[in-house]
Structure 1
Amino acid sequence: MSESDQTVVVEHESHLARVCLNRPRKHNGMNLAMLDAVNDTASTLAKDRDLRAIVIQGNGPSFCAGLDFASVMKSPLAAAPAMAQLLLPYANRFQRWSLAWRDIGVPVVAAIHGNCFGAGIQLALGADVRVASPDAKFSVMEAKWGLVPDMGGVALLRELVRIDVAKQLVMSAKIISAHEAHELGLVTHLDDNPAQAARDIALEMSAYSPDAVAAGKFLLQESWDASESSATAAERRWQRRLIGRANQRISVARNGKQSDKPFKRRSVSK
C-alpha cells in the first residue's frame, strides 16, 4: 500500500511519533478505514515502551473536518455493524478514536489547522495538549446531522469547559474561531506553526523520567474530578510505583549532576 492509500501515516523521529491523518483531499474527513487505522495506531503505540511522545496532526488543508457521511453511508453493509457498536456496554470503536490516546503513557499533543469539526474536535480532545493555528475553526457539529457527540467527546469536554458552554457548543453546532476556542479552554496554545509548536511541547513534556511522565498523566486523569480521599489515594498508589525504581534513581543522580545516564525504557502503564 502506497502512502497515498493510507488513511493514517506514522512518522518516527527518535522517540517521538508523528501520527498524520491522511485524507487531504477530503480535509481528513473520517471514514471507517481511518477510524480503524487511528485505533490500530493508538494500540500499537501504546505497546512501545521506548516511545516518549506523540504528535497528532492532519495532512493537507485541515486537521479533520469530521465524519465523512457520504463515504460511510455509501456502503450500508459496512455501516450497519458500525451502528451496532452503540449497543455495546463498554467503550466502542468510535469512542476509542479519542479515548485510546489517554491510555498511552506519554504526552500526546494535537497540532490543529484548518477545520476541526465533529469527530475531529473529539480526537483533538483526546490529546493532553492542543495547539492550533490562529485561523483554525472548531465545531461540535453533530447536531447539524441530527446526532449527539458520541466519540468520547462528552467525557473529554467536561474536563475543559463549564456545562453551560458545553451545552451551547453541542446544541448549536456553532463554528467558532481558534481565538474563541482558546478563550473557552478547548485549545491550550495558539501558534502560527502548530506542528512545530506541538513537537516542541511534546519534547518538553517528555524530557524527564518516562515513568514519572506516564504516572503523572494517569494520576491527573484519575484524580481530577475525584473526591479528596480518592485523589490522595491515587497519589500514594502511583508514587509507590515510582519511588526507588530505576528511572527514579537515575532522576536523582541526573538532578544532582552525578550522572548523565539516559533513562531506561518506560515501565509504567495504565
Structure 2
Amino acid sequence: MNFSPRESSPTESGGHDGQAGTEERDDAATPSRPTDSWILHATDNGVAWITLNRPRVLNALAPDQRDSLISLFSRASADHAVRAVVLTGAGKGFCAGADLRTAPASQAVAARPPGEVARLIKLGAQRLISAVLDCEKPVIAAVNGVAAGLGAHLAWACDLVLAAESARFTEVFVRRGLVPDGGGTYLLPRLVGPRRAKELMFFGDALGAAEAERFGLVNRVVPDEELPTAARAWAQRLANGPTQALSLTKQLVNASLDVGRAPAFAAEAAAQEINAATADAAEGIAAFVERRPPEFRGC
C-alpha cells in the first residue's frame, strides 16, 4: 500500500490484533538497518507525509522511534512550508502500540524504583500524543490494518481519521493487565462518551472500521486500495486552505472540551481577532466579493 507522495513499495507483513511482543524481532537496528529507517518522512506540495516503517512488527513503536515522531511533529508544526500532515503505517498495520520488548519497556516493573513507570509514561507515550494534539497543522491518520494500544491513541489524537476497511482498533491494555496510557483515558471518553470508552477499555475487543465509524471514531471508511488516494485528496485540500485559520480552529475545538462556555466564547473571539489580520482572511473576503475561488497562501 503506497502512502508516500511518490510511488514506492513498502514491504508487507502478516498481522494480528494487539501490541508487539509476539512477533519475531527481525527488524532490529543493525549497522545495515539504522533506527532512522523506521520512520519515512517527506514533504510534498505542502503536505508532510510520515510513515511508520517497521511492517514486520506491525509498526510497533520503539522508544527511539517514538522520540523521532515527536521531533517530526514539532518540526512540521513550525515549518511554514508544511500546511498539513498525514500519518500512516507501512505494510498491513498502522501501529501495534508500544514495543514491549524494547528497553526500558521490557524491564520488570518490580525492578524499577517508585515513580519510574509514571515518569516514563509522561516523557514517552503522553509526550507523543501531546505532540500530535499540539501540532499547529491539521493531522490526518490514514489507518491501514491494526491500530492497537498506543497505536489506537495515536489515531484518536489526529484531527481526522481515514480508515481502510481492514482497519482494526483495539484497547489492548486490559489483555496485558495494564491501565490504558498514552492519553487514552483522556481522548476516548471525549470522542465516544464514558460508557462506550469503558466498554472498549474493559473488554479490549477489536473494533472494526465500520463500527469505529459508527462510534464516531473514524471520519470515513474506504476500500484498502483507495486509502492512499483518499488521504492524499484530503491532505491536499487542507494544504490549500487557510493554514492559520485551520490552526486556530484546531486549538479552539480541542480546548473547548475542557472549559466552560464563557472562556470558550472569549477564546473564539480572540482567535477571530488574530486571524482577521492574516493575508488569507483578506483573500477569502476578497474572493467572496469578486465571486472567484480563493487562493490561500497559508499566511
TM category (shorter chain) comes to 0.7 to 0.9
| Displacement of 1:261 | 8.1
Q: Which residue of 2 is the match for residue 99 of structure 1?
A: 130
Distance 2:32 2:291 in 1: 48
AA aligned opposite 1:114:
G
Unaligned runs of 5+ in 2: 1-30
Report the alpha carbon displacement of residue 14 of structure 1 after superposing the two structures with TM.
1.4
Q: Give the match for residue 226 of structure 1.
A: 259
TM-score by length of 1: 0.87
- For 2:177, the equivalent position in structure 1 comes to 146
Paired residues for 1:114-153 under 5 Å: 114-153=145-184
Distance across 1 between alignment mates of 2:90 and 2:175: 25
Is 1:204 aligned to 2:237, yes or no? yes
Which range moved further: 245-254 or 147-156? 245-254
Question: 1: CA distance between counterparts of 2:284 and 2:266?
Answer: 24
- The alignment of Structure 1 onto Structure 2 pairs a total of residues equal to 263
Check if 1:28 corresponds to 2:59: yes
Aligned CA RMSD, in angstroms, stands at 2.7
Contact 1:222/1:234 (<8 A) preserved: no
- Cα deviations across residues 4-42 of structure 1 (Å, max 9, x unaligned)? 742211122110011100111111011112211111111
Check the 8 A contact 1:143/1:173 in 2, yes or no.
yes
Whether the 8 Å CA contact 1:7–1:33 is kept in 2: the answer is no
Among 9, 12, 37, the residue aligned to 2:68: 37
Deviation digits for residues 184-215 of structure 1 (CA, Å, limit 9, x no counterpart): 11111101122221221222234332111111
Matches for 1:1-270 after TM superposition, within 5 Å? 5=35, 6-72=37-103, 76=107, 84=116, 86-87=118-119, 91-192=122-223, 193-257=226-290, 262-266=295-299
Once residues 19 and 251 of structure 1 are traced to their aligned partners in structure 2, the CA distance between those partners, rounded to angstroms, is 30
Distance 1:212 1:74 in 2: 40
Whether the aligned pair in 1 keeps the contact of 2:100 and 2:106 (CA below 8 Å) is no
**8 Å contact 1:65–1:120 — kept in the other structure?**
yes
Kindly tell me: are residues 212 and 48 of structure 1, through their superposed partners in 2, closer, same or farther at Cα, counting changes over 3 Å? same
**Identity across the alignment (%):** 30
**Partner of residue 18, structure 2:** none
Q: Structure 1 residues 8 and 263 mapped into 2: Cα distance closer, same or farther (>3 Å)?
A: same
TM-score by length of structure 2 reads 0.79
